[in-house]
Amino acid sequence: MTNTVEVCIINLSGLWGELMNINISKLIGEKTNPIDISLNYELNNSELLQNLNILEVEPLKVTGKVYKNNGRIIVDAVFSGEAVFRCSRCLEEFKKNVSGNMNFDIPLEEKDDDNTYIEGDYLNLSTIIEEALAFSLPMKTLCKEECRGLCPICGQNLNLKECNCDVDYIDPRLEKLKDFFSKNEEV
């Protein structure tokens, strides 16, 4: 038999927005069954979403377990949802499914100032979900792998239409390097 999840939402603003905490006092104090997690997590912090190039996101479906093993709190869960991104090359909006694993191993004994996961008897699930989302995404989100991006001269989206710009433009500060390798064949 598993415990039911006790979720306490505390409204605090900050980089990670609203905090969703799970009471883990029973896990800390005694040997007990895992706590099942099944919830929809809504990302509503515009700074985090902006940093990830996310324009909109539906609530993430999070399922899994939290348990204690050898003096450590283990979070073993998955998340999934759909988000609207801005392409890093052409700046067009596109929808993409997001999903990932949350496998966090958090020591209980070490009192660390950098431990933002546990505060007293509460496990900060918000930070875990948001970090897992950030780590599951590529550094640059692209609408498609072969995205051609924008013309650096006129700004035309090259996926939609060609432009007549001189793409061989060389920055005047670097122009002397243009013939560097042709003059020095033996490198």
Q: Give which of 14, 74, 72 is closest to 47, Cα–Cα.
A: 14
- Residue partners of 169: CB distance under 8 A and separation at least 6: 152, 153
pTM for the complete prediction?
0.73
| CA distance readout (Å), 28 to 1, 23, 89 | 18, 10, 47
pLDDT single digits (tens) 21-55: 888 877 777 777 888 989 999 887 667 788 888 99
Chain segment 156-187, per-residue pLDDT in tens = 999 999 999 877 767 788 888 877 766 555 54
Percent of the chain whose pLDDT exceeds 90: 36
| Token digits of residue 169 | 């433009």
Classify the C-alpha dihedral 119-125-126-128 as positive or negative.
Answer: positive
As a whole number of angstroms, the distance between CA 92 and CA 90 comes to 6
